[in-house]
Amino acid sequence: MSNIVDCLIIGHNEMDFVEYEKNIRKMGKDSGAYRDLNLSFICHNNIPHHASGIFNLLCKNSKTSLSHGESFSAAIAYLGTYLYRRGFTFDYINSFQDEKDVLAEKLKKENILTIAITTTLYVSVFPILEIVDFIKRRNRSAKIIVGGPFVSTQVRNVNAVTSTYLFNSIGADVYVNSSQGEATLVKIIDALKNERPLNRISNIYYKTENRSYTSTPVIRENNRLSENMVDWSLFSHRVGEYVVLRTSISCPFSCAFCGFPEHAGKYQTANVKAIEEELDSLGTIESVKSIYFIDDTFNVPMNRFKEILRMMIKNKTKFKWHSNFRCQFADREMVDLMKASGCEGVFLGIESGNDQILKNMNKSANIEKYLEGIAMLKEAGIITYGSFIIGFPGETSETLQDTVRFIEESGVDLYRAQLWYCEPITPIWKMREKYKITGSNFEWAHATMDAKTAANLVEEMFLSIKNSLWVPQYGFDFCNLFHLTNRGIDWGKIKNFIRSFNEGIKDKLINPSVTEVSAEVMNRIKNALILDDSHYSAIMTDKPGEEDDDLIIDFEL
């Protein structure tokens, strides 16, 4: 065969929401998982839609649909570059759902040696099952390799019998169990290409003839980020307006609710020179408008962060950007540099408005510092999105009221409160006897609260908080907000859209018998999406074939 592709990398699978909602509903409508999801969608014409889905339904002729696939994958960019520099050929599918037809054509050619499925954003097995099934229906020759956080988490959390059952259910040929994994992927491809056995490769589970999987020793990889920055020239012909970029690996903190540092390994950062070269490479791609820096802690170390910002200002970097941000470390100089360098907004992992809960979480923060940081960001006109965890060990109705007051009084523009997810790989698990923790995931109890009570409190927050706007998280994440602004939609209209969408969620919470969003709420959502910006003309036309005379908004440049 000619034109062999050594590795086809499959990006994120944002599952069809109808199917996803159905799968979560099977857990029970009173389950923590479903109640959490229930705060992110409404039903229209008996079909569940998250906020992006409603936007896409009403704005069918807009330039592009809102989807995860709008942003170019950091995992694909990094892995593709890593393989290329080691002499291997690669191809990729950035978004599984958006590019199924393209993937089907690639699979028909039977010239693919391996297919790598990344799992960075998956908390359930369903998206992986869908990808593997799609591949096997169209290609039986390529070896399927699954790696990333989902695999490592499962290996740590379940016994050998359960992991073998899971691996067989997924149906991949090789699983990579490593906090990094790129060096292991190279070894797998090299062995398959040269018909060598896999048993000498560390960090893997590989299929044997009796439908079992054999594991090899785990040896931690240490791939230096500064030595493996992305070569964006490899992707310039397919990169769109939005790029995801990282400048560090892991996190220097050990928050008690978070298993990320345990998975990602020792914290490391790319040096400013390497970041500058990568941004310069991106600057040659005319389509790119905005960057999401996905570092878990972009502004730590503080001096390095300020150096990056000064470099961007000096070089007149053309991109707008947004990032995760620890506002307790903000100072006036930092915020001024952020604004001058093009910062649009920041995601704040605040988690609680109570100092004792923050101590329980090992957050290295206090309420006073949070308030100071948010005030500076708001003064600079930088959008603030606060994330909160409800029900962490030690939580009571009184500590929850402190969080409600914090959200109401801090001035944070947007927020999302989420039921605590109890993972055995997180530091708090080691203290489960102290806090009398039982259960796991979204079904748990501890000395001061249980998951059902916490879910009730989350819903009460959603219904009662007035001074900050709840963002329905699933399918409409932090990045989508800036994708809308880059379409020429101002913040006022975006907030009206979200607020109107939330009215539909409120209706079903207040009256559980409500299964369909009201015509009144749908009209509010439609009206919120009518643009009067000079970049667009909004043309209202009747949608054919619908009894409720739904309206489509047709954006024309």
CATH number, domain at 451?
3.80.30.20
- Using CA atoms, how far apart are residues 171 and 191, in angstroms rounded to an integer? 20
pLDDT band at 63 (very low <50, low <70, confident <90, very high): low
Distance of CA 201 to the CA centre of its chain: 30
Dihedral sign for Cα atoms in the order 158, 252, 127, 182:
negative
| Whole-number pLDDT of residue 424 | 87
Say if residue 241 is in the same domain as residue 388: yes
pLDDT of res. 376: 98
Which domain covers residue 98, as residue numbers? 5-31+66-215
Range in 238-247, 508-517, 531-540 the model is least confident about: 531-540
| Distant-in-sequence, close-in-space partners of 430: CB < 8 Å, separation ≥ 6 | none
Same domain, 526 and 475: no
Instruction: Quote the pLDDT of residue 61.
Output: 56
| Confidence at 260, pLDDT banded by 50, 70, 90 | confident
Residue scoring higher pLDDT (402 or 123)? 402
Question: Does residue 239 sit in the same domain as residue 197?
Answer: no
Backbone angles phi, psi at 61, to 5 degrees: -105, 15
Last residue of a domain, one of 193, 215, 237: 215
pLDDT score, position 62:
52
- From 462, 486, 510, the end of a domain falls on 486
Q: How confident is the model at residue 425 (pLDDT cuts 50, 70, 90)?
A: confident
Give the CATH number of the domain where residue 167 resides: 3.40.50.280
Which of 188, 215, 242 is at the close of a domain?
215
Residue 46 within any structural domain of the chain: no
Inside any domain, residue 272: yes
Asked if 201 and 158 sit in the same domain, the reply is yes
Q: Which residue has the higher pLDDT, 149 or 396?
A: 396
Q: Assess contact for 118 and 150: CB atoms under 8 A.
A: no
Does 472 fall in a domain?
A: yes
489 pLDDT band, cuts 50/70/90, is confident
- Do 175 and 307 reside in the same domain of the chain? no
| pLDDT digits 0-9 by tens, 520-546 | 999 999 998 875 433 333 323 333 334
**What is the model's pLDDT at position 223?**
87
Pair 269, 180 in one domain = no
Do residues 463 and 535 share a domain?
no
Q: Rounded to a whole number, what is the distance in angstroms from the first to the last CA of the chain?
A: 46
Residues 200 and 313 in one domain: no
Assess if residue 517 is contained within a domain. Answer: yes
Q: Has residue 55 been placed in a domain?
A: no
Q: Judge if 295 and 366 occupy the same domain.
A: yes
> 467 phi and psi, to 5 degrees?
-90, 0
Same domain (yes/no): 248, 387: yes
pLDDT at 346: 98
Instruction: Point out the least confidently predicted range of 33-47, 153-167, 318-332, 537-551.
Output: 537-551
320: in domain: yes
**φ, ψ (nearest 5 deg) of residue 6:** -65, -35
Please give the pLDDT value at position 537: 34
Number of structural domains (the chain) is 3
Q: Is the pLDDT of residue 2 over 60?
A: no
Q: Which residue has the higher pLDDT, 8 or 210?
A: 8
Q: Is the pLDDT of residue 421 over 50?
A: yes
One domain for residues 349 and 389: yes
Q: Quote the mean pLDDT of the chain.
A: 90
Share of the chain above pLDDT 70, in %: 94
Decide if 240 is inside a domain. yes
Quote the pLDDT of residue 539: 29
Q: What is the pLDDT of residue 434?
A: 97
Judgement on whether residues 230 and 207 belong to the same structural domain of the protein: no
**Residue 491, domain member (yes or no):** no
